Chains A and B, each alone.
Chain A
Amino acid sequence: MAALRRFVAILLADLRDRTRSTRFWVVMALVGLATWWCFPALETGKVAVGLDDTRAYYSSAWAGLSLGLMYSTVLAWLGFYLVRGTLVRDFDTRVWQLLVTTPMTRPGYLLAKWASHMAVFTLVMLLGLVVGAIAQWVRAEDRSLDVLELVKPVLVLAMPSLTLTAFFAVLFDMVPKLRRTGGNVLFFFVWLLLFAVTGINMDPSGAEWARQTWFSDPSGMTLVQRNLLVQLAQTAPELDAGSMTVGMSTIEAGAKLFTWTHWQVDLRDLGGRLLWALVSVMGILLLAPALDWAAARTPRGNVAGHHAGRRLAWLDRALRALERSASGVLLSAELRLVLRQRRWWWWLLLAGAWVVQLCAPANAAGIAVIVAWMISLDILARGILREREGHTAALLFTAPHSIQRLLLARIATAMAITWLAALPMLLRLMVSAPTTAPILLLAASNVALAGLALGALCRSARPYELLMAMLAYAGIQGLGPLAVPAVSSGLLLGHVIALPLFAALLFLSWPHLNTIDAPRLPWLRRAGTVSSSPAPFA
């Protein structure tokens, strides 16, 4: 009983902490909007979840199935960024030191954290179900509300998938190197591997075994596809549907509709879904013995991600020339701060990327530029947040014109890093393709400015890290704004437009960034449950 009380106490404290931040409610509002977006009207020709060019009438069963698939794929990815960080917070704030002296067990603590992640997901999904039911009523294709059919797919599809996400959120918080930028980027690729790759390999339209197995991919998409194909073959053979699509697509001729009022899930399939939930709970229990090890690897002095690093005497000599003016001193200090904390492998990877940029074919050199930017992602994503994370805001922002001085130094530093990372490629382009070189410079500047601007706007490194992970993935395949060797007028125009936009965003958000507390909800403050520091000068 005492163990249960402790479990509930940790869970509730965690939930209170999350739900009292404005960010949580902003995310909830966005989820509500995104859920509405999953039910486009028939006339638009858009389909959020479908089979080739078909979808079902918006019945409760189809609304539930659409939500279940959306949540088991998209929420399982983005939800990681929403829930992660509670263990790191306990370590950083030293709350862990208070907890560790209690009779709390390690597995109990980790399970409570995992359950807290699941509770957040449940809140998100509840909201989605309400919006889904409203959408079903408004679209008026089939207004009969069947709560069981609406909820069932969300439970069967999304819950097991999200248990895995919750497991990864706990795991990534425990591994010191994955607690911040590295983990945020890596999870994008883990998600791709886990959800996309297993989904493709288990496509029931491609392999006989995939039509017979009880096993399903983590998102459950193959299970749904299996069931849909069987049912449609019986009820609407003329549709000839094959591949499942999750995500907005447009069907020029308009979607063909079929009826879907009930989803038959047999016990075998349920077992397959339950397996993923069991895997994540087992994973959490296996992590418990490593919890003390993980907690011990927390930076001293409550300065997250900051460590003394190497002295780099050569850097001091190189920067001495800069130090003849106040702004030069500032810039050289910024560069020292950034470069001294680089680990040996960063220098090694940078050197490797430079060699590839110089010697390899253009496509490989382009990938090496992206790699060089990605290994510097923490500098770009967190540079603007240094005063918040390092508790130096009160020292710096009581100085005259410090907002302008620091911002300019920060921009110069970020740009120096992105330009430096792409320097060999830039030199090579200046010789071999002089018209492309300015695009690379623009792209490098945008990578730097976007990091600062999004960090200042969102007060978090995560949105930028997430964006860069996606763009890097596209860029490696020769797509998107980071794929500079694949030059086009659209790319140039995009960078030219983005540069002043990011700059404007940065100049507008930076002065408001260094509030001492995250914004809190006024009604909670009135209730006397939340303390708050006064707002700063804008």
Chain B
Amino acid sequence: MACQLAAEGVGYRYGGGQDAVVGIDFAMGAGVLGLLGPNGAGKSTLMRVLSTLTRATTGRVSWNGADIARQPDALRRELGYLPQDFGVYPSLTAREFLQYLAAVKGLHSREAGERVVDCLAKVGLSDAADRRLGDFSGGMRQRVGIAQALINQPRLLIVDEPTVGLDPEERMRFRHLISDLAADRLVILSTHIVSDIEASATTLAVMSKGRLLYFGPSATLLLQARGHVWERTVTESAVPAARAGRVISNSLRVEGGMKLRIVASESPSDDAILCVPDLDEAYLWLLARDGAR
């Protein structure tokens, strides 16, 4: 089955004239697209446009060739969406809630029953299926959110900050789940946790000030950032001066001072050692280069 999402010049402007998203272009098939960006970069607005909750004010988004503004149901039939903030009905059990959402999504009763069991197992909630959501912890509710996004076997899965509130074990389980799912569908994952993206994204998109700064494999971004990350150790008293005006990706207290990792296009001092950047640093370098921070 086809699975192709394309954005052409997508923008969103508020009624007051302020741009939230400007000129987004990309196309992608099956895989995991990791979406990174500082707060207010326009990620959530873009996610809302892609999930048909908001209509773009300029440009066009198409799913397998169909314009989602004109035919939202063409996408909605194949969409799973986990918003950043969502509510549940505390009087329903996890099973009842998922059956309810399955019915809203138009799944037939028998199919829905099987899917609910399957999805609850996928997120590790089989044992709690008949407990009411009012008794669930925040992490368990988040897992219910993930389960509901999978209930209709979506070809496009959009998840906004999915690992918030999950413990490390559950986070690992979620990463594996995303990797498994991405074999034959497109997963768009928006998060501030770079390690989540590093672990599962096949393509990386970085947004800032509503624009797409980077779109491509994360390895390419890491290559581009090479030669721009430095490490130096400074004394306690020299720390403020060393930090001033610099992008510091890490500070580690060591004997006799502080070991700093600095993102900069030129060596910050004679004693600085060039290092291999990680994805966090590549991201910071990209933002610094763009003047976003």
Binding site for B on A (CB under 8 A): 300-303, 306-309, 311, 323-330, 333, 336-337, 340-341, 390-392, 394-402, 405-406, 522-523, 525-526, 528, 532-537
CB pair B109 A324 closer than 8 Å = yes
Q: Pick the contact of A396: B12, B79, B101, B109 (CB < 8 A).
A: B101
15 chain-A/chain-B pairs, Cβ below 8 angstroms: A307-B91, A308-B91, A326-B102, A326-B106, A329-B99, A337-B89, A391-B85, A395-B145, A398-B76, A399-B101, A405-B106, A525-B14, A533-B54, A534-B54, A535-B15
CB pair A534–B105 under 8 Å, yes or no, is no
B160 to chain A, nearest CB (A): 9
Number of A-B contacts (CB under 8 A): 143
Chain B: residues with CB nearer than 8 A to chain A?
12, 14-18, 20, 45, 48-49, 51-55, 69, 72-73, 76-77, 79, 81, 83, 85-92, 96, 99-109, 112, 132-135, 145, 148, 152
Q: Report whether A537 and B18 are in contact in the complex, using a CB–CB cutoff of 8 Å.
A: no
Smallest Cβ-Cβ distance to A528: which chain B residue: B18
Chain B residues, CB < 8 A from A330: 100, 103-104
Q: Which residues of B contact A537 (CB under 8 A)?
A: 52-55, 69, 72
Q: A311-B132, A329-B100 are in contact. Are A398 and B79 (CB under 8 A)?
A: yes
* Nearest CB of chain A from residue B15's CB, rounded to whole Å: 5
Contacts of B49 in A (CB 8 A): 534
- Residues of B near A307 (CB, < 8 A) are 90-91, 134
In Å, the complex CA distance between A336 and B104 comes to 15
Give min CB distance, A509 to chain B, whole Å. 18
Q: When the two chains form their complex, are residues A525 and B18 in contact, meaning their CB atoms are under 8 A apart? A: yes
Please give me the residue from chain A that is nearest to B160 by CB atom. Answer: A394
Q: Given A307-B90, A340-B92, A398-B51, output 14 extra A-B contacts at Cβ < 8 Å.
A: A307-B134, A308-B134, A329-B102, A330-B100, A333-B99, A333-B103, A391-B86, A395-B83, A397-B53, A401-B73, A402-B76, A406-B104, A532-B14, A535-B15
Contact between A333 and B96, CB atoms less than 8 A apart: yes
Q: Give the chain B neighbours of A340 by CB distance below 8 A.
A: 91-92
**Roughly how many angstroms separate A396 CA and B69 CA in the complex, as a whole number?**
18
Residue ID in chain A nearest B15 by CB atoms:
A522
Closest B residue to A391 using CB positions: B87
Pairs A-B, 9 closest by C-beta atoms: A308-B134, A391-B87, A525-B16, A394-B83, A333-B100, A329-B103, A400-B76, A399-B105, A340-B91
Shortest Cβ gap from B80 to chain A (Å): 8
Q: Which residue of A lies closest to B55 (CB)?
A: A537
- In the assembled complex, how far is the CB of residue B6 from the closest CB belonging to chain A, in whole angstroms? 19
* Contact present for A526 and B92 (CB under 8 Å): no
A300-B53 Cα distance, complex, nearest whole Å: 27
Q: Is the CB of A328 within 8 A of B76?
A: no
Shortest Cβ distance from residue A139 to the other chain B in the assembled complex, whole angstroms: 40
What residue of chain B has the Cβ atom nearest to residue A307's Cβ?
Answer: B90
Determine if A336 and B52 form an interchain contact, defined as CB atoms under 8 angstroms apart: no
**What residue of chain A has the Cβ atom nearest to residue B56's Cβ?**
A534
Q: Evaluate contact between A309 and B103: CB separation under 8 angstroms.
A: no
Cβ contacts under 8 Å, A396 to chain B: 101, 104
Across-interface contacts of B101 in A (CB, < 8 A): 395-396, 399
- Contact with B87, one of A301, A329, A406, A534 (Cβ below 8 angstroms): A301
Residue among B83, B87, B88, B102 with most chain A CB within 10 A: B87
Q: How far is the CB of B161 from chain A (nearest CB, A)?
A: 13
State A537–B70 Cα separation when bound (angstroms).
Answer: 10
Is the Cβ of B89 less than 8 Å from the Cβ of A399?
no
* A535: B residues at CB distance < 8 A: 15, 54-55
CB distance from B23 to the nearest CB of A (A): 16
A306 contact set on B, CB distance < 8 A: 89-91
CA distance A306 to B79 in the complex (A): 28
B81 contacts A392, CB within 8 Å? no
Across the interface, do A398 and B52 meet the contact criterion of CB distance under 8 Å? yes
Write out the residue numbers on chain A whose beta carbons fall within 8 Å of the beta carbon of B12.
534
A531 to chain B, nearest CB (A): 9
Shortest B67–chain A CB gap in Å is 13
Q: B105 near A402 (CB under 8 angstroms)?
A: yes
**Docked pose: A522 CA to B15 CA in angstroms:** 6
Query: Closest CB-CB distance, B37 to chain A, in whole Å?
Result: 16
CB-based contact A337/B92 at 8 Å: yes
Name the residue in B73, B105, B133, B148 with the highest tally of chain A Cβ atoms < 10 Å from its Cβ: B105
- The answer to whether A392 touches B105 (Cβ under 8 A) is no
Q: How far is A306 from B102 in the complex, measured between Cα atoms in Å?
A: 22
**Chain A residues with Cβ under 8 A from B16's Cβ?**
522-523, 525-526, 532
From A303, A308, A325, give the contact of B132 (CB < 8 A).
A308
Q: Which of A311, A326, A406, A528 contacts B112 (CB 8 A)?
A: A326
Query: Is A303 in contact with B100, judged by CB distance below 8 angstroms?
Result: no
- Distance from A405 Cβ to chain B, minimum over Cβ atoms (Å): 6
Of the candidates B77, B104, B106, the one having the most CB atoms from chain A within 10 angstroms of its own CB is B104
Decide: B109 and A329 in contact? CB cutoff 8 A.
yes
A186 to chain B, nearest CB (A): 25
Which residues on the B side are within 8 Å of A534 (C-beta)?
Answer: 12, 14, 20, 45, 48-49, 54
User: Contacts of A329 on B, CB cut-off 8 Å?
Assistant: 99-100, 102-103, 109, 112
Contact of B104 among A390, A402, A523 (CB under 8 A): A402
Min distance, Cβ A421 to any Cβ of chain B, angstroms: 20
The residue of chain B having its C-beta at the shortest distance from the C-beta of A299 within the complex is B90
Could you tell me if B135 and A308 are in contact, using CB atoms closer than 8 angstroms? yes
CB-based contact B91/A309 at 8 Å: yes
CA distance A405 to B38 in the complex (A): 38
Complex CA distance for A525 and B13, rounded to whole angstroms: 12
For the complex formed, measure the closest distance between the CB of A516 and the CB atoms of chain B, giving whole angstroms.
8
**B14 in contact with A327 (CB, 8 Å):** no
In-complex Cβ contact of A394 among B18, B86, B90, B132 (8 A):
B86
Closest chain A residue, CB of each to CB of B148? A395
On chain B, the residues within 8 Å of A324 by CB distance are: 109
Please, how many angstroms separate the alpha-carbon atoms of A94 and B29 in the complex? 42
User: Closest CB-CB distance, B69 to chain A, in whole Å?
Assistant: 8
Q: In the complex, which residue of chain A has the Cβ closest to the Cβ of B105?
A: A399
Whether the Cβ atoms of B90 and A301 lie closer than 8 Å is yes
Note all chain A residues with C-beta closer than 8 A to B52. 398, 537
User: In the complex, how many angstroms separate the beta carbon of B89 from the nearest chain A beta carbon?
Assistant: 6
Task: Name the residue on A nearest B45 (C-beta).
Answer: A534
CA distance A62 to B101 in the complex (A): 61
User: What residues of chain B lie closer than 8 Å to A311, measured between beta carbons?
Assistant: 132
Closest chain A CB from B134 CB (angstroms): 3
- B132 pairs with A390, CB closer than 8 A: no
- Contact between A325 and B87 (Cβ–Cβ < 8 Å)? no
C-alpha spacing A528/B91, complex, angstroms: 40
Q: Is the CB of B53 within 8 A of A536?
A: yes
| B18 contacts A526, C-beta separation under 8 Å | yes
Partner of A390, one of B79, B87, B96: B87
A325 to B107, CA, bound (A): 9
* Alpha-carbon distance A325/B81, docked complex (angstroms): 24
- Among residues of A, the one whose C-beta sits closest to the C-beta of B53 is A536
Please name all residues of chain B whose beta carbon is closer than 8 Å to the beta carbon of A523 when the two chains form the complex: 16
Chain B residue numbers with a CB within 8 Å of A532 are 14-16
**Of all chain B residues, which has the CB nearest A306?**
B90
Give CA–CA (A526, B19) in the complex, Å: 11
